[in-house]
């Protein structure tokens, strides 16, 4: 991809670029003005011509880069930098959100991550505007926040299932834009990811859960009922992406039939965003030689 990793020297030297992308997913997967979900092939691997094995190797090879960038982001926040990063993961069931968290986010020091899975809202949460619970989970300075589902459920499920009136859903698109604008203005980069699988791939993945006793707990008969609304969900995603994409808070639609591809793509989106922030190690707020002397005497 030619950016980031290899650039810089000196204090940047620990962070070495290892991407195998010819063109970054930050460019290739971004939903633009003419975005059509139906044009995205869930089997494709944009920008990456390698094999599954090469993809798995690329994931491991960039683990350290992501971790080192987050550590530097955190260090910079200790001396006042207000930057943080928020990854919003949306997808149909089985699309691999959990695998992204485990295999991409899992490479980062747990001290640098704030992960939250949004479930059906509680009574307290329902007694507030839909953005209330989301605002409370925004990441601290220096941290990578991860939302497993998000406020987008309130325009996706609510549209498909008719849980809110059309006017209310219409209001929410605009509310989301303003809210995200505020968040970005406060120093949090937002990366919105839809993991995109095909309906057939979902069937295969659900079937696999029914084949393994250690996966039964992930299966619910309701998952099959939801499949009847597949087309409705795709339409709801199309509309939500159109209405809420912005330069500040872009949507990336990541082909996810190949789990290994989705993982390296999201990893690269995070790495690119962190290179965009370009956090620096803080200069010492003390005289190093003097502290060495004091320490020797202590």
In whole angstroms, give the CA distance from residue 281 to residue 74. 9
The smaller minimum CB distance to its own copies, of residues 128 and 199, is found at 199
Under the criterion CB under 8 A, does residue 120 sit at the interface with its own copies? no
**Window 21-60: contact mask with its own copies (x via CB under 8 A):** ----------------------------------------
> Which residues is 193 bridged to in the sheet?
89, 252
**Window 205-244: contact mask with its own copies (x via CB under 8 A):** -xx--x--xx-xx-xxx--x--xx----------------
Separation of first and last alpha carbons in the chain: 50
Q: Looking up tokens 């690269």, which residue turns up?
A: 268
Under the criterion CB under 8 A, does residue 190 sit at the interface with its own copies? no
Copy the structure tokens of residue 151.
């406020």
The number of residues that bind its own copies (CB under 8 A) is 45
Under the criterion CB under 8 A, does residue 137 sit at the interface with its own copies? no
In whole angstroms, give the CA distance from residue 13 to residue 267. 20
Give me the least distance between CB of 7 and its own copies, in Å please: 17
Copy the structure tokens of residue 251.
């949507």
Binding residue for its own copies, selected from 58, 105, 194, 241, defined by CB under 8 A: 105
Give me the least distance between CB of 64 and its own copies, in Å please: 12
Give me the least distance between CB of 82 and its own copies, in Å please: 16
The smaller minimum CB distance to its own copies, of residues 56 and 184, is found at 56
In whole angstroms, give the CA distance from residue 154 to residue 131. 9
In whole angstroms, give the CA distance from residue 90 to residue 191. 11
Under the criterion CB under 8 A, does residue 98 sit at the interface with its own copies? yes
Angle at 112 between CA 106 and CA 118, to 5 degrees: 70
Residue 43 DSSP symbol: T
Q: Is-contact 284 32, C-beta < 8 A?
A: no
Binding residue for its own copies, selected from 106, 162, 186, 276, defined by CB under 8 A: 106
Residue 122 DSSP symbol: P
> Which residues is 192 bridged to in the sheet?
88, 251
Q: Is-contact 3 26, C-beta < 8 A?
A: no
Under the criterion CB under 8 A, does residue 115 sit at the interface with its own copies? yes
Under the criterion CB under 8 A, does residue 82 sit at the interface with its own copies? no
Q: Which helix (H) or strand (E) holds 188?
A: strand 188-196
Give me the least distance between CB of 102 and its own copies, in Å please: 5
Positions in the binding site for its own copies (CB under 8 A) = 11, 14, 72, 75, 78-79, 98, 101-102, 105-106, 109-111, 113, 115, 117, 146, 148, 203, 206-207, 210, 213-214, 216-217, 219-221, 224, 227-228, 281-284, 286, 288, 291-292, 294-296, 298
């Amino acid at each position: 991809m030619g950016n980031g990793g290899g650039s810089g020297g000196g204090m940047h030297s620990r962070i070495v670029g290892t991407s195998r992308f010819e063109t970054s997913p930050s460019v290739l997967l971004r939903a633009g003005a003419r975005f059509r979900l139906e044009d995205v092939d869930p089997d494709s691997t944009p920008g990456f011509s390698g094999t599954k094995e090469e993809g798995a190797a690329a994931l491991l090879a960039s683990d350290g880069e992501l971790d080192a960038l987050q550590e530097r982001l955190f260090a910079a926040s200790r001396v006042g930098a207000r930057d943080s990063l928020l990854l919003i993961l949306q997808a149909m069931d089985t699309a691999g959100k959990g695998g992204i968290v485990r295999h991409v986010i899992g490479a980062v020091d747990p001290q640098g991550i704030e992960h939250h899975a949004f479930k059906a809202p509680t009574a307290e949460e329902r007694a507030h505007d839909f953005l209330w619970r989301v605002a409370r989970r925004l990441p601290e300075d220096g941290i990578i926040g991860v939302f497993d589902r998000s406020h987008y459920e309130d325009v996706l499920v609510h549209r498909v299932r008719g849980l809110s009136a059309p006017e209310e859903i219409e209001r929410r698109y605009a509310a989301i834009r303003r809210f995200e604008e505020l968040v970005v203005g406060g120093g949090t980069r937002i990366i919105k990811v839809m993991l995109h699988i095909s309906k057939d791939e979902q069937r295969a993945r659900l079937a696999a859960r029914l084949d393994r006793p250690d996966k039964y707990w992930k299966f619910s008969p309701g998952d099959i009922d939801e499949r009847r609304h597949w087309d409705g969900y795709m339409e709801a995603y199309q509309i939500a992406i159109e209405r809420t994409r912005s330069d500040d808070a872009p949507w990336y639609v990541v082909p996810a039939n190949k789990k290994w591809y989705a993982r390296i793509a999201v990893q690269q989106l995070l790495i690119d965003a962190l290179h965009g922030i370009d956090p620096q190690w803080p200069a010492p707020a003390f005289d190093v030689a003097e502290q060495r002397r004091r320490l020797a005497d202590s």
